[in-house]
């Protein structure tokens, strides 16, 4: 009897909390550097969720450890809906790639909502003497271990895209991990590294401006953002496919009514026609799921990347 009463009191308290939530600013932690897709879309969401939530939304970049530093900070935060995590498939990859990290994704964090996904783009510095993907592969094979590619850190979509490319194309290219995507972009634009997989939403302008060469997009079909650039699979690496997707999580134990409220507000933003059209022009596609559906999506993605990592023999450098 006492247990049932205690449970009812807890449920009642959670309901009251959800009705009044939020009563102070909400922070979205981005465990990556400034200027990348996670940072850009976290700020996009925050700006559009402030009015319906009635509180400021602060975006805080906490990069490091291939997303582990910022993610662990959120996992250790109070489960009250005031500290959220902007996450990506980096997190589902790291469940296999970094098994000894200080948190377990679906044990210590709760799914809230997905945001969007986009293709990646293989970009090459103009100094590299290759004009297309086939020439790049031939060049890499002629000098194994001498060419390199940048990523924003271990386990990130850019790292995994590069390792998958190495495996399927049969090339030996050295991984150069940066502490964040902004540093990796500075490296590729400055010629300190020779190639990189990056989100098409971020890198397409640099290809159009001639600052970098675009040799392939990572989806199943060509992107409308750069229709003249073939897919990596089409250009010479059959079976190649990789994307970057984004989502929001909260500390485990966050009251379900709070998670449902956040899911509803995020879904309203991603469901707007003007948002879908704007993102489509950038190369991103909006996603919409319930917290439960998003949880299953995460479990499926963890299993998918565990198989890819095992099959390709991918390890941390």
Cα–Cα distances in Å, from 97 out to 67, 93, 148?
Answer: 12, 6, 21
The reply to whether 82 and 110 lie within a common domain is yes
**pLDDT tens digit string along 41-54?**
999 999 999 999 99
Q: Kindly report the CATH number assigned to the domain that includes residue 207.
A: 3.40.190.10
Question: Above pLDDT 70, what percent of the chain?
Answer: 94
Q: Domain boundary at 200, 235, 270, which?
A: 235
pLDDT in tens, 88-138: 999 999 999 999 999 999 999 999 999 999 999 999 999 999 999 999 999
- The beta-carbon contacts of 202-211 under 8 Å, at least 24 apart in sequence, are 202/35, 202/36, 202/37, 202/40, 203/121, 203/123, 204/121, 204/282, 204/283, 206/123, 207/121, 207/123, 210/126, 211/126
Q: Could you report the per-residue pLDDT of 91-103, keeping only the tens digit for each?
A: 999 999 999 999 9
188 Cβ contact list (under 8 Å, min separation 6) = 123, 125, 150, 194, 195, 196, 198, 212
Last residue of a domain, one of 235, 263, 298: 235
Query: CA 84, CA 95: separation in Å to the nearest integer?
Result: 19
Q: Determine, yes or no, domain membership for 56.
A: yes
Partners of 312 in the beta sheet?
Answer: none
Same domain, 193 and 213: yes
Number of domains in the chain: 2
């Amino acid at each position: 009897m006492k247990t049932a009463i205690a449970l009812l009191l807890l449920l009642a308290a959670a309901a009251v909390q959800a009705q009044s939530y939020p009563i102070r600013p909400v922070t979205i932690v981005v465990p990556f550097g400034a200027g990348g897709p996670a940072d850009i879309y976290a700020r996009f969401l925050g700006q559009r969720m402030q009015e319906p939530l009635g509180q400021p939304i602060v975006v805080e970049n906490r990069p490091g450890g291939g997303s582990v530093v910022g993610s662990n900070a959120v996992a250790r935060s109070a489960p009250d809906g005031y500290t959220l995590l902007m996450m990506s498939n980096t997190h589902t990859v790291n469940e296999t790639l970094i098994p000894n990290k200080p948190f377990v994704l679906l044990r210590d964090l709760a799914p809230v909502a997905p945001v969007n996904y986009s293709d990646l783009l293989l970009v090459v510095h103009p100094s590299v003497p290759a004009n297309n993907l086939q020439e790049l592969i031939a060049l890499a094979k002629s000098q194994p271990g001498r060419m390199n590619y940048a990523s924003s850190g271990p386990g990130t979509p850019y790292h995994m895209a590069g390792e998958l490319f190495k495996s399927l194309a049969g090339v030996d290219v050295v991984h150069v991990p940066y502490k964040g995507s902004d540093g990796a972009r500075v490296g590729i634009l400055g010629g300190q590294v020779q190639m990189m997989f990056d989100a098409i939403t971020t890198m397409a302008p640099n290809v159009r401006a001639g600052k970098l060469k675009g040799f392939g997009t990572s989806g199943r079909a060509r992107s409308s953002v750069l229709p003249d650039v073939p897919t990596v699979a089409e250009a010479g690496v059959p079976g190649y496919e990789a994307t970057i997707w984004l989502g929001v999580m909260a500390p485990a134990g966050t009251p379900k009514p709070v998670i449902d409220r956040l899911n509803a507000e995020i879904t309203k933003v991603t469901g707007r026609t003007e948002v879908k059209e704007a993102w489509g022009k950038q190369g991103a596609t909006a996603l919409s799921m319930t917290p439960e559906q998003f949880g299953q999506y995460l479990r499926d993605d963890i299993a998918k990347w565990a198989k890819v990592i095992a099959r390709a023999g991918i390890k941390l450098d």
